[in-house]
């Protein structure tokens, strides 16, 4: 039976966040953002191991206590210049531990609000799919395409449009081949690489609360969402 592994690329600098601290280490309720992604994935019984891909010169990861996640959590100091390069390097680093048909769930370090039911849904709906899949939400806002002067050029139809989230779940060997074949500067997510290989990944209904922290103000929203998760768990 195929096994399930998770991989978190966490080698970026987060240039859109304030200050020099890499985004994954900005604190949220007293813990780094990365903690919440690790905690959710490590807590899932189907996931055998969680790999975190760090920058080669990362000195911050070791300052935190990750002991509660051992031995399920393993840091990999092989991050690349782009997200795709970090994922690719991470896949290469674990080639002796992961089989070709095993599933790899790639999750953003800056998505701290992943809910257990969304993760369950992804695994349940994709585990029998040849192409793999990803969490995503249908686009509900009206979309405007801008011109070069910051004005509306036209309104884009939103029918059949989805906003991609993570985790994105693919077979190890296929994802490795897809990332090997694509320009890492163009692969903004794993699904894009799989699309270029000819696959049509399955869209699995995600959760609007599974936000990606990009700007400083997103930290407050993420904190509110996490508090609501905790209240629901104890309600």
Number of structural domains, the chain? 1
Per-residue confidence (pLDDT) for residue 229, from 0 to 100: 79
140 domain-assigned: no
146 domain-assigned: no
21 domain-assigned: yes
154 domain-assigned: no
Contact by Cβ (8 Å): 109, 23: yes
Per-residue confidence (pLDDT) for residue 203, from 0 to 100: 98
Q: Is 135 left (phi over 0), alpha (psi -120 to 50) or beta?
A: beta
pTM of the model: 0.94
143 domain-assigned: no
Q: In a structure prediction context, what are the per-residue pLDDT tens digits for the chain, which is 235 residues long?
A: 999 999 999 998 755 565 678 999 999 999 999 999 999 999 999 999 999 999 999 999 999 999 999 999 999 999 999 999 999 999 999 999 999 999 999 999 999 999 999 999 999 999 999 999 999 999 999 999 999 999 999 999 999 999 999 999 999 999 999 999 999 999 999 999 999 999 999 999 999 999 999 999 999 999 999 998 777 665 5
E strands, 13-161, are: 27-28, 31-32, 47-54, 73-77, 103-106, 133-138, 143-146, 152-156
156 domain-assigned: no
Per-residue confidence (pLDDT) for residue 20, from 0 to 100: 75
Print the domain residue range for 20. Answer: 4-135+163-234
CATH number of the structural domain spanning residue 100: 3.90.550.10
Give the C-alpha separation, 226 to 203, whole Å. Answer: 24
Contact by Cβ (8 Å): 5, 103: yes
């Amino acid at each position: 039976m195929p096994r399930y592994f998770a991989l978190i690329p966490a080698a970026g600098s987060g240039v859109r966040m304030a200050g020099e601290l890499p985004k994954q280490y900005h604190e949220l309720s007293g813990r780094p953002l990365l903690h919440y992604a690790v905690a959710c994935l490590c807590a899932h019984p189907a996931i055998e191991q969680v790999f975190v891909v760090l920058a080669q010169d990362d000195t911050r990861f070791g300052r935190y206590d990750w002991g509660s996640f051992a031995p399920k959590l393993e840091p990999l100091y092989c991050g690349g210049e782009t997200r795709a390069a970090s994922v690719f390097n991470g896949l290469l680093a674990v080639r002796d531990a992961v089989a070709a048909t095993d599933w790899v769930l790639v999750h953003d370090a800056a998505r701290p609000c992943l809910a257990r039911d969304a993760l369950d849904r992804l695994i349940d709906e994709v585990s029998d799919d040849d192409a793999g899949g990803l969490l995503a939400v249908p686009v509900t806002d009206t979309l405007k395409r801008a011109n070069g002067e910051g004005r509306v050029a036209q309104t884009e139809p939103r029918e059949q449009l989805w906003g991609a989230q993570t985790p994105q779940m693919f077979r190890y060997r296929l994802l490795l081949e897809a990332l090997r074949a694509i320009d890492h500067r163009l692969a903004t997510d794993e699904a894009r690489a799989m699309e270029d290989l000819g696959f049509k990944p399955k869209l699995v209904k995600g959760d609007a609360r599974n936000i990606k922290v990009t700007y400083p103000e997103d930290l407050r929203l993420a904190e509110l969402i996490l508090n609501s998760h905790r209240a629901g768990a104890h309600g």
